């Protein structure tokens, strides 16, 4: 493959007829490309590792994500279709999803409707329930890692995930994650961090979906300190028309004490479903992910 570009080398490993047609996005550890087959409807997403030195932690994060995704099988978590290596770069393929990140949606449209916010919470809660049941704690739930489409919402980027028994806790020796969306225990070095940390991060996302802004503001250091000493404001102090059914879900997910949050993703999803029913907001999508 001497003289081939990285993308040309990757194409040799794709199903027959598939060609890479453009870049879909780039993150801290990887880039994602669109590959199209002989028919326009034949589309794949190809995620490639950003090459670094042999000791570059980005390589470890990419490999961790690949290994984690291979353990998961849920309709709200894009599955790995194939893996490979080309010119020293690992890559894997996934189904292509037509949509955008929740961050892009919030930037473009502002707060979501109550129905749409609850549907995203349902889908991501269901994905977390599946991951936690297989011993995987995501540790980076945020709008940038949630993809929304006409079919529903998807949980992406498991590069920071840790794998352990779902009843055990991961004790962090360093702070790792996105400060704006960390739980109090995740933001503190040495504190035990269990799967309920993901529910706090999802609670911050729900808060932002219904109010248009996160509850904590300032620098990364300031926001991390705020959640250690200050309870988030009630969403209805920012947007009084938010129903109590939604405010109650946000309040419980954002409990400072992890034991006061929902015990499982399934319990969170059932609370969301109850809110949809009480508010007469119909979820008429095909259901393949009941918990």
- Enumerate the active-site residues: 140
The whole-angstrom separation of Cα 177 and Cα 139 is 6
Q: Which residues contact 24 (CB under 8 A, 6 or more apart)?
A: 32, 33, 34, 45
Q: Would you state the structure tokens that stand for residue 53, as one six-digit string?
A: 């030195």
The whole-angstrom separation of Cα 190 and Cα 210 is 33
Q: Would you state the structure tokens that stand for residue 26, as one six-digit string?
A: 């780039």
Cα-based angle 112, 116, 117 (whole degrees, multiple of 5): 65
Q: Would you state the structure tokens that stand for residue 290, as one six-digit string?
A: 């009941």
Q: Would you state the structure tokens that stand for residue 251, as one six-digit string?
A: 């309040």
Supply φ then ψ for residue 4, to 5 degrees: -75, 145
> Between 196-211 and 114-133, two packed helices, what is the crossing angle to 10 degrees?
170
């Amino acid at each position: 493959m001497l003289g081939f570009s990285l993308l040309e080398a990757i194409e040799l490993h794709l199903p027959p007829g598939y060609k890479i047609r453009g870049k879909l996005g780039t993150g801290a550890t990887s880039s994602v490309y669109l590959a199209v087959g002989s028919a326009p409807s034949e589309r794949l997403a190809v995620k490639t590792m950003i090459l670094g030195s042999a000791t570059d932690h980005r390589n470890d994060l990419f490999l961790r994500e690949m290994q984690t995704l291979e353990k998961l099988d849920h309709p709200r978590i894009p599955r790995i279709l194939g893996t490979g290596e080309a010119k020293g770069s690992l890559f894997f393929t996934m189904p292509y999803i037509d949509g955008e990140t929740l961050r892009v949606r919030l930037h473009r449209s502002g707060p979501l409707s109550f129905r749409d916010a609850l549907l995203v919470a349902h889908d991501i809660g269901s994905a977390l329930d599946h991951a936690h049941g297989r011993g995987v704690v995501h540790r980076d739930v945020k709008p940038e890692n949630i993809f929304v489409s006409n079919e529903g919402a998807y949980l992406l980027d498991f590069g920071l995930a840790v794998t352990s028994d779902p009843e055990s806790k991961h004790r962090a020796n360093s702070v790792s994650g996105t400060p704006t969306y960390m739980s109090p225990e995740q933001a503190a070095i040495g504190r035990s961090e269990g799967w309920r940390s993901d529910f706090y991060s999802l609670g911050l996302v729900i808060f932002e979906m219904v109010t248009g802004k996160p509850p904590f503001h300032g620098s990364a250091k300031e926001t991390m300190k705020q959640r250690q000493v200050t309870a988030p404001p009630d969403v209805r102090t920012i947007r009084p028309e938010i129903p109590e059914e939604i405010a109650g879900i946000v309040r419980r997910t954002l409990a400072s004490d992890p034991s006061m949050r929902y015990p499982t993703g399934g319990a969170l999803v059932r609370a969301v479903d109850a809110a949809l029913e009480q508010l007469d907001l119909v979820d008429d999508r095909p259901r393949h992910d009941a918990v």
